[in-house]
Structures are given as structure tokens and as C-alpha cells.
């Protein structure tokens, strides 16, 4: 059937994206005030109708994405649509780029979707402009007559009095948007969306380079509906962190590790989890230097460069070093997706009158386990038993899984890295199913209703059943744990260049 071809998937996904956008005009994360009559509540009936339309559109988008991935060849992917009989001219990566454009375009003028975080970004940029300590107070310090006051009024309740957990590089960008738009909500939101599109372009460039142009890598990373609705629709700064981080890793692979370390340092100055990449950039540099003591010493240099970038960026921004003490503020907010927070809260309620100390202890234990696992993965990469890019991706997934606060879009940190080297493996498909399910967890309004988890469960079951059916037809198998992936052929001797694995879907480490 035509609808199951790549062209059909392209149209179906675009229709789904359009439905998400149109539904968002009634049921999105609309501002409390300052919507210029464009982004305003339309009444309860229209709000419900908009939400239903957005959920239907999301379902179309995810179904089109999963089917599109099935049509991608598992090899070098020079043609897309071979299985459907559709002949597609040109390079397949370019065809995936066309599909990405079709699916992204309907979201460009939509109101904020699935999150109110963009209002925090705007308010924090206004705080920097007005001389407030953004690391000592929350958006509530902006009074009615202040720049960015309309955005501050729309900040989610948890974050109204919470200091910024973001680095000074991102705050400078938010400050620039507020300065250019005067802090008016509609133009400021659209300005932040331009930044989000720049982040998407960085991700495409980095993933394409790391994967050797394989279209499936772009399919899992950039074409991912979870990324589209939360990075483009919701304008989360995680997209900018991912783009800068993977761009830095790509430059390190291309033997330009100094500039790569600068990019990773900038990524850390957006959101701190990007610092994990410094371990794997250091391993790439150390192995290229021949290993041994000399290699280890050289492997420390990316961290030194990134630390210098962080210091210079902080001084240049003028926001101070308060970001060093605000990295844990997010952990104080309970999210149902955090396994350690849920477990800690449950144990605390069982054994103590005040569950918070027990919860904190379990959260810290989870982070310690994550650090230990990341260390093991780093050792495997150093020994040449695992591709460093894959090691980075798995490390970030482990970090997210054991963090005290987990949001659905956090998994994109690791998914985009894994996509570059293992998109067509069992775990690549497992991640695709997980991303499709997580896309349902948050409503277009930014809330996390109970039915969102129910819909996520239905999507997860449907995805796994689809994989089982595909396996019966000779397609991808049911997912194995992502950390079990080791590129075939190893990574060469520890003294050789990293990532020379000839394994299927593996990162080659070549200059491109």
C-alpha cells in the first residue's frame, strides 16, 4: 500500500505534525497573559478538542516514524524505500532531511507545546538583563512592570522560585532573545524556537558525521518524534546541549580535539550532563596518542580545555559562578519517571516518619551507581572493546535512568549518541519503541496526567508487538539491553585509534 511507502510515511508524519500544531493552539502550553490574542485559552470544549487532535496527530507521527524506520536499509543505506518498491533519487541522507523538513515545518509557529520551560528561559534571560542573581532567585522576582514579567507569570509552579540550573552560555542566549524582542511573550518564544532549530541543525550535522551519513542514524536521532515535540515544539535547551556535545565528539574523532573540547565545554555551560562526554573525548585523544602514561596524560587535556572554556564563559557572561551550586536544584522536584526517587520515597514512607532523608540517600546511591557504571564503560572503551561514541550514549542513558529527576526528553541525551553507531541493532529499535512511548507521557499543556502513563503503556506494548511481528518476518529482533552492544571486531588494540570497528552500524572513526 502507498501509505506504507516512504512517501506515504512522509505525508502521514507531516499530517500528524500539523495536527499536533493545530491542536496546540487550543490545548498547548499557552501563556497566562501576553499571548496577543493568538495564544489564548479558547474555552473548555475547544481545549478538549485540541488535546484530542494533538494526541491523534502524535499517534500518526509516531506510526509514520516507526514505519519509515522499517523501510530504511540496514546496510549503508544508499536508497530509501527499496522494500516498498519506491525508487528514490539522490543520497538517502538527503531524503531523510527532506522528511525532517516536512515534519518540522508545522511546528514552527505553534505555541509552546508539552512544557512551560520556555517561559522560564525567557524570564531568566530577563533577570540577567535586569541585574538579578539568576542563581540566587527564581522568576518570581520579576514584578508586574518588569521586563519578562508576562513570561514569569506563565512559569510552572515548581519553578517560580527555583534558581536557574543552566549554565551561563544558555543564559546569555536567552538574554539576547529577550533584548531583541523586548521580552514580549510571542516574539520571545519564536526567538527561542529559532535557537531550537539551530540546535536541531547541530544534531543533524553531528549525527550525520559520526555515522558516516547513514540515514537510519538521522531517523533515530533527528526524526524522532520525542525530539521534535520537545526540542522544536517545547524548545528545551537539551537540544542545544546535545548538538554542541556531539559536535565536539565529532571534531575529536576528526582529530580536531581542541576545538571539539571547546564545543563540549560550551555544551556543559548549557547543561552540566554534557560533562560526561569529556571522559570519552579524553579516551579518543589518549588512544590516538598511543596509550600508556603519555596517552593518559594527554587524555586529561580535553577536560582542561573545557574547564578553561567554562571559566571564560562564566566571566564573560557576568552571571557569576552560582551555577556550580544550583546543579542539584532539579533533584528537589519529584518526577514519576525517576526510579531512585520513587524507590526512595516508597522506602522512606515504610521505615520513617519523614521520608525525605531516605529518599535523598537512595537518590545519591543511584548517582554513585551511575558513576561506577560510566567508569566501567569508559574502561571498556579504553581497552578497545567498545566504541567511545556508543560508550557515551550508554553512559548518558544510565545517568538518566538513575537520576533523581527524569523527564521524558532526557533520554534523548543518550539516544542521539547511540543512534550514530547502533541505530539498526536490536537496542536501536528498543530505544525507538521507548521514545515513542515516552512521547505520550506529557500532555500538550505540559501537564503529566495519569492517562498519559496509560497511553505510554499502550504505545510501549504496541511497539514491542510490532517488533515481535517484524522478527517473525525476518525484521529487527526484540530489543536487548542497550549496554550489551559491542561493535563486532572490537576497537583495535588500546594503542590504536579509537572506533575502528568494522561492525554493522559501528562508528568507523574515519575523517570525513
Hey, where are the domains in the chain?
A: 1-97
Quick one: how far is CA 102 from the chain centroid? 20
The residue assigned the cell 517545547 is 234
Contact 289, 299 (CB under 8 A): yes
**Which pLDDT score is estimated for 122?**
96
What is the pLDDT, as a whole number, of residue 191? 97
| Residue pointed to by grid coordinates 506563565 | 154
pLDDT for 87: 34
Instruction: Please provide residue 56's backbone torsions phi and psi, each rounded to the nearest 5 degrees.
Output: -65, -40
- Which pLDDT score is estimated for 293? 81
pLDDT of amino acid 81? 35
Phi, psi of 477 (to 5 degrees): -80, 170
Contact criterion met (CB below 8 Å) for 487 and 503: yes
Q: What is the pLDDT along the chain (512 residues), one digit of tens a residue?
A: 666 788 889 999 999 999 999 999 999 999 998 888 889 888 889 999 999 999 999 999 999 999 999 888 643 333 333 333 333 333 566 689 999 999 999 999 999 999 999 999 999 999 999 999 999 999 999 988 888 899 999 997 778 888 999 999 999 999 999 999 999 999 999 999 999 999 999 999 999 999 988 889 999 999 999 999 999 999 999 999 999 999 999 999 999 999 999 999 999 999 999 999 999 999 999 999 887 788 889 999 999 999 999 999 999 999 999 988 887 776 677 888 999 999 999 999 898 888 889 998 999 999 999 999 999 999 999 999 999 999 999 999 999 999 999 999 999 999 999 999 988 777 888 999 999 999 999 999 999 999 999 999 999 999 998 888 777 766 555 444 443 444 433 333 333 433 333 333 334 333 33
How far lies 499's CA from each of 220, 294, 491, 494, in Å?
Answer: 20, 20, 5, 11
CA 65-421-399 angle, 5° bins: 85
Distance CA 507, CA 512 (A): 12
- Give the CA dihedral 149, 152, 154, 158, nearest 10 degrees: -160
The reported pLDDT for the residue numbered 474 is: 63
Residue 463 and residue 436 in contact, taking contact as beta carbons nearer than 8 Å: yes
CB neighbours of 228 closer than 8 A, spacing ≥ 6? Answer: 17, 61, 103, 104, 107
Q: What pLDDT does 441 receive?
A: 95
Please state the separation of Cα 82 from the chain's center in Å: 30
Backbone angles phi, psi at 396, to 5 degrees: -70, -35
Cα–Cα distance for residue pair 403/396, rounded to 1 Å:
10
What does the DSSP 8-state code read for residue 333? Answer: S
pLDDT attached to residue 93: 63
Amino acid at each position: 500500500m502507498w501509505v506504507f511507502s516512504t512517501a506515504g510515511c512522509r505525508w502521514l508524519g507531516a499530517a500528524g505534525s500539523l495536527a499536533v500544531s493545530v491542536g496546540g493552539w487550543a490545548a498547548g502550553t499557552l501563556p497566562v497573559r501576553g499571548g496577543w490574542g493568538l495564544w489564548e485559552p479558547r474555552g473548555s470544549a475547544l481545549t478538549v478538542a485540541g488535546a484530542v487532535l494533538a494526541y491523534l496527530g502524535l499517534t500518526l507521527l509516531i506510526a509514520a516514524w516507526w514505519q519509515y524506520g522499517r523501510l530504511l536499509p540496514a546496510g549503508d543505506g544508499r536508497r530509501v524505500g527499496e522494500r516498498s518498491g519506491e525508487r528514490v533519487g539522490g543520497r538517502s541522507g538527503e531524503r531523510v532531511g527532506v522528511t525532517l523538513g516536512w515534519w518540522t515545518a508545522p511546528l514552527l509557529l505553534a505555541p509552546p507545546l508539552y512544557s512551560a520551560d520556555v517561559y522560564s528561559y525567557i524570564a531568566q534571560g530577563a533577570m540577567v538583563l535586569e541585574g538579578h542573581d539568576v542563581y540566587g532567585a527564581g522568576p518570581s522576582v520579576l514584578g508586574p512592570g518588569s521586563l519578562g514579567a508576562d513570561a514569569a507569570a506563565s512559569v510552572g509552579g515548581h519553578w517560580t522560585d527555583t534558581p536557574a540550573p543552566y549554565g551561563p552560555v544558555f543564559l546569555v542566549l536567552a538574554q539576547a532573545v529577550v533584548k531583541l524582542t523586548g521580552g514580549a511573550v510571542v516574539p520571545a518564544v519564536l526567538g527561542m524556537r529559532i535557537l531550537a532549530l539551530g540546535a536541531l541543525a547541530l544534531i543533524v550535522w553531528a549525527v550525520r558525521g559520526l555515522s558516516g551519513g547513514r540515514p537510519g542514524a538521522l531517523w533515530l536521532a533527528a526524526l524522532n518524534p520525542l525530539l521534535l515535540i520537545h526540542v522544536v515544539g517545547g524548545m528545551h535547551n537539551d537540544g542545544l546541549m546535545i548538538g554542541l556535545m556531539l559536535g565536539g565528539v565529532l571534531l575529536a574523532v576528526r582529530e580536531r580535539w581542541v576545538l571539539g573540547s571547546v564545543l563540549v565545554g560550551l555544551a556543559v555551560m548549557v547543561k552540566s550532563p554534557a560533562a560526561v562526554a569529556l571522559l570519552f573525548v579524553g579516551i579518543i585523544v589518549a588512544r590516538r596518542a598511543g596509550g600508556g602514561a603519555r596517552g593518559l596524560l594527554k587524555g586529561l587535556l580535553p577536560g582542561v580545555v573545557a574547564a578553561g572554556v567554562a571559566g571564560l564563559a562564566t566571566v564573560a557572561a557576568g552571571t557569576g559562578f552560582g551555577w556550580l551550586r544550583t546543579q542539584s536544584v532539579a533533584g528537589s522536584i519529584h518526577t514519576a519517571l525517576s526510579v531512585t526517587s520513587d524507590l526512595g520515597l516508597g522506602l522512606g514512607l515504610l521505615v520513617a516518619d519523614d521520608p525525605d532523608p531516605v529518599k535523598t540517600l537512595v537518590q545519591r546511591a543511584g548517582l554513585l551507581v551511575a558513576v561506577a557504571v560510566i567508569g566501567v564503560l569508559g574502561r571498556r572503551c579504553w581497552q578497545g572493546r567498545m566504541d567511545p561514541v556508543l560508550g557515551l550514549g550508554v553512559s548518558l542513558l544510565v545517568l538518566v535512568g538513575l537520576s533523581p529527576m527524569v523527564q521524558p526528553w532526557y533520554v534523548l541525551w543518550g539516544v542521539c549518541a547511540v543512534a550514530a553507531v547502533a541505530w539498526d541493532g536490536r537496542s536501536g529499535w528498543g530505544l525507538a519503541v521507548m521514545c515513542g512511548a515516552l512521547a505520550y507521557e506529557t500532555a500538550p499543556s505540559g501537564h503529566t496526567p495519569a492517562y498519559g502513563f496509560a497511553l505510554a503503556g499502550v504505545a510501549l506494548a504496541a511497539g514491542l508487538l510490532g517488533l515481535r511481528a517484524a522478527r517473525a518476518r525476518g525484521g529487527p529482533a526484540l530489543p536487548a539491553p542497550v549496554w550489551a552492544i559491542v561493535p563486532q571486531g572490537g576497537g583495535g588494540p588500546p594503542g590504536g585509534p579509537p572506533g575502528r570497528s568494522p561492525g554493522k552500524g559501528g562508528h568507523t572513526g574515519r575523517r570525513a
